[in-house]
Chains A and B, each alone.
Chain A
C-alpha cells in the first residue's frame, strides 16, 4: 500500500490492529449480505421457480427486444447529443454576441432542469405517439448541453498559441475551429465525453415513465404480469435486468478509463481529462476539469476548482 496523507506506514502493532479490523469488517459485510439473502429466501424470492421464468422463450424474447430498444434510444441520443454538443459549443465560443447569448441561455436552462421534466414535456406536448423519439430528443437536449460544456472546456484548454499560429497561417475562423481546436478538444476530453455517454445510457431508463418499452419498462411488465408461487418475481427480474445495465455501463466506463490511461502517456502538452462521471451536472466554469496536483494521480476526481482558471486547468509539461 502506498503512503497516504491520513496515516503512516503501519508498524507491528498497527498491522495487527488492521488485520483485526479486516476480519471484523469482512464479517460485518458478510453478515449484512447473508441476512438480506436469508430474508429474501424466507419470502420465497430465491426459489428456483422464480428464476426459472428466464428459461421461457417468450420472456427471453422480451428482454432481447428491450435490450435492442434501449440500445436504439441510446444510439440516437448519443449521436444527437454529440451533434448538438458541437453546435452549442461552437455557438458559445462564437464571436457574435447574439449567437453566444442564445447558446448560453439554452445550455444553462436545459442543463439545470431535471431531464425527466424535459422528456415528459416533449412526450406530452409534441411526440405523444413517438415515445422513442421523445426519449431520444430529451436525452439529446440535456446531454448535448453537458457535452457542449465539456467541449468548450476542451477548446479552452488548447494552448492559445495554437490558434494564434493558425490565424497567422491565414486560416479562417471556421478552419481554425474545425482543423485545430475541435480535434484537440475532442481528443483531450474523450474520457469525459464517454463518461457522459455512460450517463446517457443510464438515463435511457427514464423511458419507462413515458412507456417506452426499454429494459426497465420491460422488467416492470415481466415482474407485474408473471405470477410465480403467488408472488411477483421482482427480485429475480431486477437482478437480471440490473446485471445487463451494469454490464453495459461498466463496458463503456472502462473504455473511458482505458482511453484516459492511454492519453496520459501521450506528450501533446494538453492534459487528458479524467474519466469522471458527472452526477448530472458539470460545472465547467468552476473548473470541474481542473487537473489536481501530482498527488491526485489516480483520484480521477471531481477536480479542485481552485486551479481551474478558464475552465481548462491545463498542466503544461
Chain B
C-alpha cells in the first residue's frame, strides 16, 4: 500500500500515460487498418499486393523491433526530435493496424455475396448497397474481434514504457529501481491495466448490444 501512497503522482501520470497512448494509437490503428483493408479488397492489384505485404510484414515483426525502427530509423527519414509519445503511438498503431485490417476484411467477407446481389437486383446503387446492406452487417461481426485487438493494444502499450514513454510499465521499473518490493508494485500495475482493459471490453459489449443485427 505504501508504494502507491508514497508515489501516487507518478502512478497517476503512468496511468494517464497508458490511457492516452492506448487512445491515440487505437485511432491510428483503426484509421490505418480500415484503409489497408480497403486496399486489400480493392479491385486494383498493386494496392492489394501492398496491403498483403503490409499485413504479412507487420504481423511477423516483433513489436519491440518495430519500436526500435520507429525510434531510430523513422526520425532519420522524417525529422529528428519527435517525442517518444508520438513515435510510440505510431509504432503501436502501425503494428495493430495489420490486425484491424484482417478483422475488417474478414468482417466484409462474412457478408454473403447474395445480399449484395439482392441489393443490386432491387436497384440499389453501389453507395446504397454499401451503406444499407453490407457495412452494417460487416460492422457487427467486426466488433468482437476489434474488442480483443484493442485490449491487446493496451497490453502492448507496456513496451512503450521501456522506450521512455511515461506509462505504467515505466512506473513499475521506477519503483523497482527505487528498491520497493516487486510484489505490491506488480499488483498495483496489474490493477491499473485491468481497469483499462475492463473499461474497453465493457464499452465494446455495450456497442455490440446496440448494433446487434439478426442474421
Listed in ascending order, the chain A residues whose CB lies under 8 Å from chain B are 1, 3-8, 10, 14, 18, 21-22, 25-26, 29, 35-36, 39-40, 43, 45, 109, 112-117, 120-121, 124-125, 198, 202-206, 208-209, 216, 219-220, 223, 234-235, 238, 241-242, 245-246, 249-250, 253, 276-283, 286-288, 292-293, 295-296, 298-306
Q: Which residue of chain A is the closest to B177 with respect to CB atoms? A: A124
**Of A198, A209, A302, which is within 8 A of B106 by CB?**
A302
A5-B111 in contact (CB<8A) = yes
Q: A21-B47, A250-B60, A279-B148 are in contact. Are A301 and B102 (CB under 8 A)?
A: yes
Q: Does A301 lie within 8 Å of B103, measured CB to CB? A: yes
Partner of B105, one of A1, A3, A277, A301: A301
Whose C-beta in chain B lies nearest to the C-beta of A118?
Answer: B186
| Residue from A1, A120, A295, A300 within 8 A of B173 (CB atoms) | A120
Q: Which residue in A116, A280, A302 is a CB contact (below 8 Å) of B103? A: A302
Chain B residues bordering chain A, tally (CB within 8 A): 78
Enumerate the 3 nearest inter-chain pairs by beta-carbon distance, A residue then B residue, closest first: A301-B106, A280-B152, A302-B145
Set of chain A residues within 8 Å of B42, measured between Cβ atoms: 21
Please tell me if the beta carbons of A116 and B76 are within 8 angstroms of each other in the complex.
Answer: no
A282 CB, min distance to chain B CBs, angstroms: 7
Q: Is the CB of A235 within 8 A of B130?
A: no
Is A281 a contact partner of B76 (Cβ separation < 8 A)?
no
- Identify 4 new A-B residue pairs, CB closer than 8 A, beyond the known A21-B44, A45-B76, A280-B151: A5-B113, A5-B116, A120-B173, A306-B140
Q: Is the CB of B145 within 8 A of A303?
A: yes
* Interface pair B113/A18, CB less than 8 Å apart: no
B positions within 8 Å CB-CB of A: 41-47, 50, 56-57, 59-65, 68-69, 72-73, 76-77, 96, 99, 102-103, 105-113, 115-116, 120, 126, 130, 134, 140-141, 143-145, 147-149, 151-159, 161-162, 168-169, 172-173, 176, 181-183, 185-186, 189-190, 193-194, 197, 208, 215
- Give Cα A281–Cα B128 distance, bound, in whole angstroms: 35
Which chain B residues lie closer than 8 Å to A206 at the CB level? Answer: 64, 159
The prevalent SS among residues of A at the interface is helix
9 residue pairs from A and B, CB less than 8 Å apart: A4-B41, A6-B134, A7-B43, A206-B64, A278-B148, A279-B149, A300-B102, A302-B106, A302-B149
Within 8 Å by CB of B145, from A3, A112, A301, lies: A301
How far, in whole Å, are A64 and B161 apart by their CA atoms in the complex?
A: 29
- Kindly state the separation between the CA atoms of A281 and B62 in the bound complex, as whole angstroms: 16
Q: State the Cβ distance, A79 to closest chain B Cβ, in Å.
A: 20
B46, A26: Cβ atoms closer than 8 Å: yes
A115 / chain B contacts, CB cutoff of 8 Å: 155, 158
Given A202-B61, A209-B162, A216-B68: A300 touches B148 (CB 8 Å cut-off): no
Whether the Cβ atoms of B172 and A120 lie closer than 8 Å is: yes
B162 in contact with A125 (CB, 8 Å) = no
The one of A6, A43, A112 that contacts B193, using a Cβ cutoff of 8 Å: A112
Asked if B144 and A288 make an inter-chain contact with CB atoms under 8 angstroms apart, the answer reads yes
B102 to chain A: closest CB distance in Å?
A: 6
B44 touching A25, Cβ below 8 Å: yes
Contact status B106-A245, CB under 8 Å: no
Q: Report whether A36 and B77 are in contact in the complex, using a CB–CB cutoff of 8 Å.
A: yes
Contacting pair B152 A279 (CB below 8 A) = yes
Q: Roughly how many angstroms separate A139 CA and B41 CA in the complex, as a whole number?
A: 35
Q: Given A279-B99, A280-B156, A302-B103, A287 and B72 touching (CB < 8 A)?
A: no
Q: Which residues of B contact A29 (CB under 8 A)?
A: 46, 50
Q: Which residues of B contact A300 (CB under 8 A)?
A: 102, 106
Cα distance, A56 to B115, chains bound together (Å): 61
Known: A120-B173, A279-B152. A234 touches B72 (CB 8 A): yes
Q: Is B120's CB under 8 angstroms from A216's CB?
A: no
User: In the complex, what distance in Å separates the CA atom of A299 from the CA atom of B142?
Assistant: 13
How many angstroms between the C-alpha atoms of A300 and B112 in the bound complex? Answer: 16
The listed residue with most B CB atoms (<10 A of its CB), out of A204, A216, A282, is A216
Chain B residue contacts of A283, Cβ below 8 A? 144, 147-148
Among A5, A35, A238, A305, which residue has its beta carbon within 8 angstroms of that of B73?
Answer: A238
Contact call A1/B43, Cβ cutoff below 8 A:
yes
Give A26 to B31 CA distance when docked, in angstroms.
21
Question: Which of B61, B109, B197, B208 is packed against the most chain A CB atoms within 10 Å?
Answer: B109
The answer to whether B182 touches A121 (Cβ under 8 A) is: yes
Question: Do residues B65 and A205 form an inter-chain contact, with CB atoms below 8 A?
Answer: yes
Q: CB within 8 A of B130: which of A6, A45, A223?
A: A6
Q: A7 contacts which chain B residues (CB < 8 A)?
A: 43, 126
In-complex Cβ contact of A280 among B57, B64, B155, B161 (8 A): B155
Q: Are B110 and A299 in contact (CB under 8 A)?
A: yes
Residues from chain A with a CB closer than 8 A to the CB of B64 are: 205-206, 208, 216
A114 and B182 contact, CB distance less than 8 A: no
Give the docked Cα–Cα distance between A168 and B103 (Å): 42
In the bound complex, do residue B62 and residue A202 qualify as a contact, i.e. CB atoms below 8 Å apart? yes
Closest chain A residue, CB of each to CB of B73: A235
